C-alpha cells in the first residue's frame, strides 16, 4: 500500500469515528427514556454489508457495543443484504441475537449507494419496560419477562409497521416512552447514513470495502501485537458472587498464545431458575472488554480486534444460558466478568491490573401503582403508575499506581442518573446521597468508595423495588495485601433488611436506604503515604477510627497524623 493511500485511509477513519459518534449523540438527544438520555445506556456502530463492525461510537456501554458487534450477522441471515430495499429498517429484542435481554432493542438500517447496500448502521438502547413481570430478576422463563420481538422488518419504504407498533404499545407499561425510543433508533441510524453518504461523496468512494478491510486488518494486527507483548501461558482464576438464592462460582482459564487470547469458563456454576442467567453474546461482550481494558486498550474496537479474543463457555452454565431461560437481569453476573479476567491477568503482570471493584450496578428500579401481595388493591390502584430506573454505582478497585474511583460505574460506563431528573419523572424523593465513609478497601492504594442513597415515595404510597444488587455477602477482594471493599447493604429506614435480589414491597411511608459496595485495595495499608491518609481523613473518606486502627503504624500515631480529632476530620462525608 502506498504511503499516500495509508494517510487517506487514516483521515477517512477519523471521519467514520465522528459519523458514529454523531449517530450516538442523536440517539441521546432524541430518546424518551432516561436510561439513554441521561445515562448513555446505548450503542451505535457502522458495519460492512457482510455484517462485520468497522467503527463504534465512543458513547455507549461494552455490553451493548460488543454484543451488537455480533448481532448484526443474525439480521443479515434473516434478511440477506441482496433482498434489502431502500427505506427498510429491521428490529429485534431477541436476547440471544441482540444484546442479552428483552429490554434492549437493536435496530439495523441498510445504506444504499448506486442501488447497492454499501453499509449497515446498527444501534441499541434499553427501554424502561417490556411488559411481563416487570422490574427485577424474578422470572423463571423468558416467557415471563415480557414481549419477545424476533428479527422483523420495522419499516418498509421508510414507513414504520403500524401493526408492530400497536402490538408493542399494548404490551408495555410505558407505551409513549418505548415507542419514542424506537423512533429515536430510526432517527440516529438515518443521520448516520446521511453523514456516511456525504463522506463518500467527498472522498469519491463507491463502496467501503477497501477502507473497511484496511481498518479491520490493521486493528487485528495491532491487537495481536499487543497480545504478543505478554508472556505466553495459561492462568486460572475463580470468584464467588452472591447469586439469587445461593452463591455462584465464576471460573475462568485464560490462555495467551501467539495467535490471540482464549478464555474458557468451564467449571462455572450452572444456570438457575431466575433471571440472572447470561446469554453467551453478553458473556463474550464483557469478557472481551475485560481483556481490552488491560491489553490493547488503544486499539480500535471492531471486528478485527474483537476476533483476537475467543471465549468458550459450556452450554447451560450460567454464562451460556439457552432459551427459554430467564435472562432479564443478566447484567448482575455479566458485569462481574472483567474482575474474573483481571484475576487471571494479575497473575501475569500484577503491576498492570486493578483490584476487584463493586462492578455490579446498584440500579434503583422502582414501580408504583402495581398490585402486589400485602398491599390493599384499591390503595395500589389509586397511586400513580410509574416505572423508573436510576443508575447508581459503587467504587472501583484500586488501580496500578492510583487509588480506586469512587461511585463510578465500571465496567458498564453508564453515568449516574441525576436525582433531580428522576424526581421530575416519578413520585420519588431522594433524601440523601453521599459517600459511604470507610467503604473503600484499605491499602497502600485505597479502593474507591461506595455511596449511601436514601429515597421514598413522594406521596407516601407503597411501591415495588426490583433489587439487582451484588457484593452484599461477597465484597470486592483486595490484592497484594490490600483489604476488601465495603459490602453493600439494602434496608428500610425502620431497620428491616432487604434482599439483594428480587421484587420487594416498600410499605407506604417507608424510606429505602442503599449502601453501595466499595472497591478493594492494593498493598499493605500501613505502607500508605501518610499525607494521603491525612487527606482522606480531612475529606471524610475514612473515619478517625479507621485511620488509627487500619492505616496507622506507631510512628504515624506519634506524629498525630492518624488520630486527628479536630473539627475538620469530623465533618460529614463528602457529597457524591
Mean pLDDT of 461-481: 97
Three-state SS at 116: strand
Listing DSSP states for 283-335 in one string gives HHHHHHHHHHHHSSTTS--SHHHHTTEEEE--TTBTTS--TTB--TTTHHHHT
User: What is this structure's pTM?
Assistant: 0.93
Determine how many CB atoms are found less than 10 A away from the CB of residue 141.
Answer: 13
Between 557 and 555, the more confident residue is 555
The yes-or-no verdict on residue 25 having pLDDT over 50 is: yes
Write a three-state SS string for 233-254: EEEEEEEEECCCCCCEEEEEEE
pLDDT band for position 575 (cuts 50, 70, 90):
very low
Query: According to the model, what pLDDT value does residue 557 have?
Result: 38
Let me know the angle formed at the C-alpha of 195 by 189 and 200, rounded to the nearest 5 degrees.
Answer: 120
pLDDT band for position 2 (cuts 50, 70, 90):
low
Listing DSSP states for 376-408 in one string gives -HHHHHHSPPEEEEE----PPPPBTTBPPPTT-
Let me know the angle formed at the C-alpha of 375 by 374 and 377, rounded to the nearest 5 degrees.
Answer: 130
**Most confidently modeled range among 69-73, 376-380, 560-564, 572-576:** 69-73
The yes-or-no verdict on residue 99 having pLDDT over 50 is: yes
Amino acid at each position: 500500500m502506498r504511503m499516500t493511500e495509508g494517510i487517506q485511509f487514516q483521515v477517512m477513519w477519523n471521519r467514520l469515528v465522528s459519523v458514529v459518534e454523531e449517530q450516538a449523540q442523536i440517539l441521546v438527544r432524541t430518546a424518551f427514556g432516561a436510561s439513554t438520555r441521561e445515562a448513555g445506556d446505548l450503542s451505535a456502530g457502522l458495519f460492512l454489508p457482510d455484517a462485520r463492525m468497522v467503527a463504534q461510537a465512543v458513547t455507549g456501554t461494552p455490553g451493548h457495543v460488543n454484543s451488537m458487534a455480533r448481532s448484526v450477522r443474525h439480521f443479515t441471515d434473516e434478511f440477506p443484504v441482496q433482498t434489502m430495499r431502500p427505506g427498510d429498517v429491521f428490529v429485534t429484542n431477541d436476547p440471544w441475537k441482540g444484546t442479552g435481554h428483552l429490554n434492549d432493542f437493536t435496530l439495523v438500517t441498510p445504506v444504499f449507494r448506486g442501488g447497492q447496500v454499501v453499509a449497515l448502521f446498527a444501534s441499541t438502547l434499553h427501554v424502561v419496560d417490556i411488559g411481563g413481570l416487570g422490574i427485577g430478576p424474578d422470572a423463571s422463563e423468558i416467557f415471563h419477562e415480557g414481549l419477545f420481538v424476533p428479527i422483523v422488518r420495522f419499516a418498509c419504504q421508510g414507513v414504520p409497521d403500524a401493526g408492530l407498533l400497536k402490538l408493542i404499545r399494548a404490551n408495555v407499561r410505558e407505551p409513549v416512552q418505548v415507542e419514542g425510543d424506537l423512533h429515536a433508533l430510526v432517527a440516529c441510524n438515518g443521520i448516520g447514513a446521511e453523514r456516511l453518504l456525504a463522506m463518500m461523496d467527498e472522498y469519491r468512494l463507491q463502496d467501503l470495502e477497501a477502507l473497511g478491510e484496511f481498518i479491520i486488518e490493521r486493528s487485528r494486527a495491532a491487537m495481536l501485537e499487543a497480545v504478543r507483548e505478554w508472556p505466553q501461558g495459561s492462568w486460572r482464576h475463580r470468584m464467588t458472587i452472591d447469586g439469587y438464592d445461593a452463591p455462584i462460582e465464576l471460573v475462568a482459564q485464560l490462555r495467551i498464545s501467539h495467535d490471540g487470547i482464549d478464555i474458557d469458563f468451564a467449571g462455572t456454576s450452572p444456570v438457575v431458575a431466575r433471571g440472572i442467567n447470561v446469554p453467551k453474546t453478553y458473556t463474550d461482550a464483557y469478557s472481551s472488554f475485560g481483556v481490552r481494558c488491560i491489553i490493547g486498550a488503544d486499539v480500535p474496537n471492531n471486528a478485527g480486534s474483537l476476533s483476537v479474543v475467543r471465549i468458550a463457555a459450556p452450554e447451560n452454565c450460567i454464562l451460556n444460558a439457552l432459551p427459554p431461560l430467564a435472562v432479564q437481569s443478566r447484567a448482575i453476573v455479566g458485569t462481574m466478568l472483567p474482575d474474573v479476567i483481571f484475576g487471571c491477568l494479575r497473575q501475569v503482570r500484577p503491576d498492570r491490573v486493578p483490584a476487584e471493584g463493586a462492578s455490579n450496578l446498584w440500579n434503583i428500579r422502582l414501580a408504583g401503582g402495581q398490585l402486589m401481595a400485602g398491599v390493599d388493591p384499591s390503595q395500589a390502584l389509586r397511586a400513580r403508575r410509574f416505572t423508573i430506573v436510576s443508575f447508581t454505582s459503587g467504587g472501583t478497585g484500586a488501580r496500578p499506581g492510583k487509588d480506586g474511583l469512587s461511585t463510578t460505574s465500571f465496567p458498564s460506563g453508564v453515568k449516574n442518573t441525576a436525582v433531580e431528573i428522576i424526581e421530575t419523572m416519578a413520585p420519588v424523593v431522594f433524601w440523601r446521597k453521599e459517600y459511604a465513609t470507610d467503604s473503600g478497601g484499605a491499602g497502600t492504594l485505597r479502593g474507591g468508595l461506595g455511596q449511601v442513597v436514601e429515597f421514598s415515595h413522594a406521596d407516601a404510597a407503597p411501591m415495588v423495588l426490583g433489587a439487582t444488587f451484588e457484593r452484599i455477602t461477597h465484597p470486592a477482594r483486595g490484592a497484594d495485601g490490600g483489604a476488601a471493599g465495603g459490602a453493600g447493604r439494602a434496608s428500610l429506614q425502620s431497620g428491616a433488611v432487604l434482599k439483594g435480589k428480587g421484587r420487594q414491597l416498600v410499605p407506604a411511608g417507608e424510606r429505602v436506604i442503599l449502601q453501595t459496595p466499595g472497591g478493594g485495595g492494593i498493598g499493605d495499608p500501613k505502607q500508605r503515604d501518610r499525607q494521603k491518609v491525612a487527606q482522606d481523613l480531612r475529606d471524610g473518606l475514612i473515619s478517625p477510627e479507621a485511620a488509627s486502627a487500619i492505616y496507622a503504624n506507631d510512628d504515624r500515631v506519634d506524629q498525630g497524623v492518624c488520630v486527628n480529632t479536630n473539627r475538620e476530620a469530623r465533618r460529614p462525608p463528602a457529597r457524591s
